[in-house]
Structure 1
Amino acid sequence: MLFCQMCSEDKVKELVSKCLQARDMAYCPYSRFPVGAAILSADGAIITGCNVENASYGLTVCAERTAIQRAVVEGHRQFTAIAVTCDIKDRFVGPCGACRQVLMEFGSEWVVYLTKPDGSYKETSLSDLLPLAFSPEHLGKN
């Protein structure tokens, strides 16, 4: 198990539940592939997001990026965990490469909960999902 100071068993269950709820709000008329995400901020807030598709496919926004953008708008800049889910039942699915890079902007040591529709989850880390990542540190930012 990875270490997450804010991630008590109850908090993980809440995070997983919120990401499942967010998936139900997805706007995905083209792919019919709903995705939900829930981010846990360092101050204990949970911010959700879902994928929002567009007829111009390149303008589609993933659930993880929707959640991070909402979190930033709400004033959050430090995060400890994210739960991500989709409708695939037989295996765990992680964020796409673009989302991994966007999450990396806010640190590499996030705990990531890959969640199935039944609420079961697998715990990993952003640094494991995006090894040797380009980060703000490469630009002299800490």
Structure 2
Amino acid sequence: MAEKRKLLQRYMQCLNEMQDELRRKELAKKMETLEKLQCELARRQEQRVAQGGGQMGKSERRQYLKDKLKSYQKTLKGLLCELARREAFANGERGRVSESDNLPHPLKLDEFTVAFRYVGEDGRELLMAALAARRCAYVPYSKFKVGAAFRAKCGQIYSGCNIENAAFTPGNCAERCALAKGVSEGEKRYTAGAVVAYHPDGFTTPCGVCRQFIREFATRDFPIYIAKAPPPEQEGCIPAIDDDEEVLVTSAYNLLPHSFSAYE
């Protein structure tokens, strides 16, 4: 029985190697065809220019050529990535998720921490607006105040606080409160956000529902500043955030990787 199992494993391994070899040859042929098409496109473009351009103007022809070239380069890049992925898989390596065509990744901003003194004016203004909104939080049950603020593309800042309810479910988070304000006034595109709350053990980031809510209006990734508010006994202190206080600079896409969105 063991001999049959070993023989079957060897057979499957040989079959996989043959399939990989066929795929590599197929990709090599496609790449060769793509290169020929690029050369032919360039030749025809030169011929059109020499003949006076036909119906398209010079600038239009140049833009047409650029668009075609970008399209071919994108296809070529995809083929090269697929070839590398399959070769790595054949060698027993695990594929990198970021290179999968089935899981497109939007361009994400960097995520880091920085002292408050080094936060830009845009981030400082948002954090201050979030702190101001936090004072209005309605939290008779948890006593956990949260403030949030988001800057719309027009530059207007919309802030909000968390609002609790005796039935719990009808309550609203600060992030959704702030964004709902902006959306209700016609603003559906945002460039930055901020969330502040006090927790002795670390930063308070948006909950899962709020992360999906933020993602709905993030057609491009934008920074989100997370800071700790002063403890209850120091709520009236000035400044509200010390210059040496650490701020987490994350983003909409970092908060919800591999997120669901209908945005194209």
Alignment TM class, shorter chain as reference: 0.7 to 0.9
What TM-score do the two structures reach when normalised by structure 1?
A: 0.87
**1:16 and 2:142 correspond:** no
Partner of 1:5: none
Deviations 1:28-75 (A, max 9, x none): 001111100000111111100000101010111000000010001121
1:89 and 1:117 in contact (8 A); partners too: no
User: Any idea what SS the aligned residue of 1:136 has?
Assistant: coil
> Which of these residues, 137, 144, 158, is aligned with residue 47 of structure 1?
158
Deviation, 1:90, is: 4.0
Mean Cα deviation higher: 26-35 or 101-110: 101-110
**1:127 and 2:236 correspond:** no
What TM-score do the two structures reach when normalised by structure 2?
A: 0.48
- Residue type matched to 1:10 in 2? E
User: Any idea what SS the aligned residue of 1:58 has?
Assistant: coil
The equivalences for 1:14-93 within 5 A come to: 14-93=125-204
Deviation, 1:110, is: 2.0
Rounded Cα–Cα distance in structure 2 between residues aligned with 1:26 and 1:59:
15
**1:113 and 2:225 correspond:** yes
Deviations 1:67-97 (A, max 9, x none): 0100011211110111001121441111000
Over 3 Å counting, the alpha-carbon distance change for 1:19 and 1:89 in structure 2 is farther
- Residue type matched to 1:41 in 2? A
Rounded Cα–Cα distance in structure 2 between residues aligned with 1:24 and 1:128:
28
Rounded Cα–Cα distance in structure 2 between residues aligned with 1:131 and 1:11:
24
1:83 and 1:114 in contact (8 A); partners too: yes
- Number of residue-to-residue matches in the alignment: 134
Higher strand share: 1
Rounded Cα–Cα distance in structure 2 between residues aligned with 1:124 and 1:9:
14
Partner of 2:205: 94
Rounded Cα–Cα distance in structure 1 between residues aligned with 2:229 and 2:160:
16
Structure 1 runs not aligned, ≥5 long: 3-7
* Alignment RMSD (CA, Å): 1.8
User: Any idea what SS the aligned residue of 2:169 has?
Assistant: helix
Mean Cα deviation higher: 24-33 or 113-122: 113-122
Higher helix share: 2
Q: Which has the higher contact order (CA 8 A, sep 6+)?
A: 1
Structure 2 runs not aligned, ≥5 long: 1-108, 111-118, 231-240
Bigger Cα Rg:
2
Partner of 2:234: none
